[in-house]
Chain A
Amino acid sequence: MVSLAQTSARERAAFEPGVEIAVEEVSHSFDLEGAPLPVLDGVSFAAARGEFVALLGPSGCGKSTLLRLVAGLEPPTSGVITENGRRISGPDPSRVVVFQDPTLFPWRNVRDNVALGLEAQGLLKTRRSRIDETLRLVGLENFTKAYPHQLSGGMAQRVALARALVNDPDLLILDEPLGKLDSLTRLSMQGEIVNLWRRAGFTALLVTHDVEEALLMATRVIVFSERPASIKADIAIDKPYPRHRDDPDLIARRREILGLLGLHDSW
C-alpha cells in the first residue's frame, strides 16, 4: 500500500511539477550562549502547487531561517512543515535552495558545478544532457569551462540557479538570490527567474527585503514582523506577467506594504 501510494505520488509529480508546502504553527529559536533567541513565532501559511510566494520582512527577522527549515537543513523547534502532506525531516533534491551567495565550488568549473546535484544523486549518466540544456536556459552555454573566480556576480548567480534547476525541483527556495547583484543585473534576473518559473511550473518561495521585487515576481506576498517573525499580512497579487514597476496597482500595494513595515513616510 505504502509503495503504491508513493509511486502514484511520484507519477503525479512527474506530470504535474510543483508541490504544496504547508507551514503549521512553526516556532524556532537559536541557542545563544545558553539563552534561547526566538526567531520564528507561530508562523503558519500554505503555498499551493505552482504558486510563487514572496516572504517579505525587515532584515534579520528570521525569513531565511524559515527557508532553511523548509529546505530541511534544520528541524523546527516546534511545529510541522509538510510537503504534499508529508512531514519534511531532512534535505531532499526535490527542494533546492539558491542562496544569497552563489557558493559555487571554486575547484569545479561551471559545468561541474551545475552537475553537482546529479552527481550526488548518482544520476549523472542518465541525465547528463540536462546539464547543457540548463546552461543554455540561463545563457551560460559558452562558459561551461570557466572557473567561479572568472565569473561576474550575476554570472555566478546564474550558475547557482542552473545548479538548482538541473534537478527539476518541485520547490525552488530562493534566499535573497539577487541581494548582492548590481541593480541592472538584478532587474534582468528578476524577469528571467519569473520566466523559468512560468515555464517549469515549480512552486517557488522567495525571501527578499525588496518590496518592489516581491511585487514584480510573486503571486502572493507574505509580510513578516520584526524578530521573532510572525505573519503580518498575506497579500495576493493577481496581476498578469510581465508586470511593470510603474503599474498604479502595484504602486498602491507598495505603499500599503511599506506602511505595514513601518515606513509610512518613505518615498
Chain B
Amino acid sequence: MSLLTFDAPRADKADVRYRLPSRATLARVALAVAAGGAWLAFAGLTAYWPDQGDWGHGSELAAAAGILGGALALAGVLGGLWPRGAARLRRSTPWLLALGLFFTLWQAATAKFAWLPQPFFPPPHALLEVFVDDWAKLWTSVVASTQLELLGFAAGAGAGFIIGVLLGCFSAFGYWVHPVMRLIGPLPSIAWLPIAFFAFPSSWSASIFLIGLTTAFPVAVLTWSGVASVNSAYYDVARTLGASRAFLVFKVAIPAALPHVFVGLFMGLGASFAVLVVAEMMGVKAGLGFYLQWSQGWAAYANMYAALLVMSLMCSGLVTLLFRVRDRLLSYQKADVQW
C-alpha cells in the first residue's frame, strides 16, 4: 500500500509496474501534493511578503515550512518507493493540508495584512520567537504547574477515594460525613481562595489544598456510588467462600468499584485544571497561570498564546497519563473510549 499503489497488487510485480495508477491513488497523490503546496505557500508568504510589524524568526519559520512542504510534495510523488512510510503518512495528509492552509491564513491575517487587530493577534513567527527566546522560563513554569497539579490531585484523589470507600462500606461514617459533604462538596473551590490564601502558610500550600478539594469531591461521590452499586451476589459468593470483612472491602468492593472511581478521577482532574490556573494567576508566583498573567501585564501577547498552547499540551498530557493508568488497571474490560 502506498501513494503510488497500482490497483490491486499482483503476484507478478513486473506486470503491475506498467499499469496506470487508479483514481484513488491519484487522489491520494494530489492530496499530498496539495498539502505540500499549502506549506510552501505559507513559507513563501512568510519569507517574501513584508511584515507590518517587528517580529523575529520569520526566515527560520519560512525555511522550516518550506522544507516540510517540499518533503510532503515529494513524498506524495515518490511514496511508492517506501510503501509502509507512505501508508503511515497518508493518515495525516488531510490534517497536514488543513494545518498548512490554517497557517497561511493566520500569517496573512496578522503579520502581512493585519486584518486582525494588532498587537492582540500575533503571527506564527512571533510565537516561534517566544519558544526560542523564552523556553527556559516556559519550561520552569511547566515544571512548577505540573508539580502543583500532581501534588494537589494526588492528595485530593487519595482523600476522596478513602472517603468514598468508607461511605460505601460503613453507615456510621456516612452519618457524620454525608451531611458535611453535601454542604461543602458542591461549593466551587475557587470560593475558598481568599480564605485559603491567608489560612495557609503559603499560597503554594493553599493551592494544593484547593486543587485537592476540587478533586476529592467527585472522586468521593463516584467511589461511593461505585461501592454502593457493587452486585450483592459478589459479596454472597465471597462470603460463602470464607471471605473476611477486610477481604470483602479490598478484594471485592474496591476492584468492583474501580471503573466508577476512574470516572470520578477524570471529572476531578478536569475541574482541578481550572483551580490550578486561577490559583497561579491569583497568588502563586510560578507556573503557567502566573506566566500568562505576567505576560498580560507586559502586553506580551505572543507569550500568552505560547503559554496557552503549552498549557493545553500539559493538561492533555496529564489526561492521557490518567487514561493510560486506567487502561492498565482495567485491562480486563472491553476497551470503550480511546483517548
Taking beta carbons and an 8 Å cutoff, which residues of A are in contact with B?
68, 71-73, 91-93, 95-97, 99, 101, 103, 105-109, 116-117, 119-121, 147-149, 163, 167
Contact = CB atoms under 8 A, between A and B. Distances in A.
Given A109-B332, A119-B251, A149-B334, A103 B237 contact: yes
A149 B331 CA distance: 12
A119 B243 CA distance: 8
A116 B330 CA distance: 19
Contact of B241 (A72, A116, A147, A149): A116
A92 B333 CA distance: 31
B62 to A, nearest CB: 54
A167 B256 CA distance: 23
Interface stretch (B32-40, B181-189, B228-236, B266-274): B228-236
A120 B332 contact: no
B258 A97 contact: no
Given A103-B231, A105-B256, A147 B332 contact: yes
A101 B233 CA distance: 9
B232 to A, nearest CB: 10
B255 A107 contact: yes
Given A105-B256, A106-B333, A107-B258, A91 B240 contact: yes
Contacts of A71: 240
Contact of B233 (A72, A103, A107, A119): A103
Given A105-B255, A109-B332, A149-B334, 18 more contacts: A71-B240, A73-B236, A91-B242, A96-B240, A99-B233, A103-B233, A105-B252, A105-B256, A106-B333, A107-B255, A107-B330, A116-B238, A117-B241, A119-B247, A120-B241, A147-B332, A149-B333, A167-B241
Contacts of B334: 149
Q: Interface extent on B, as a size class?
A: 20 to 34
7 contacts: A73-B239, A91-B240, A103-B231, A103-B236, A105-B255, A108-B332, A120-B242
B336 to A, nearest CB: 12
Interface in B305-339: 330, 332-334
Chain B CB within 10 A, most for which of A72, A101, A120, A149: A120
A109 B237 CA distance: 16
B185 to A, nearest CB: 28
Contacts of B239: 73, 91
A134 to B, nearest CB: 13
A92 B242 contact: yes
A166 B298 CA distance: 73
A96 B242 CA distance: 9
A73 B236 CA distance: 7
Given A91-B240, A120-B243, A103 B234 contact: yes
Contact of A95 (B234, B238, B240, B247): B240
A105 B233 CA distance: 10
A120 B255 contact: no
Nearest to A118: B241
A15 B242 CA distance: 22
A227 B204 CA distance: 67
- Ranked nearest first, the 7 interchain pairs of A and B with the lowest CB-CB distance are A117-B241, A93-B242, A120-B243, A121-B242, A103-B233, A91-B239, A147-B332
A73 B233 CA distance: 11
Given A120-B244, A149-B332, A107 B256 contact: yes
A147 B332 CA distance: 6
A119 B246 CA distance: 12
A146 B318 CA distance: 31
A95 B255 CA distance: 25
Nearest to B231: A103
Chain A CB within 10 A, most for which of B233, B240, B243, B334: B240
A167 B233 CA distance: 19
A107 B331 CA distance: 8
Given A105-B234, A107-B255, A73 B240 contact: yes
A106 B256 CA distance: 8
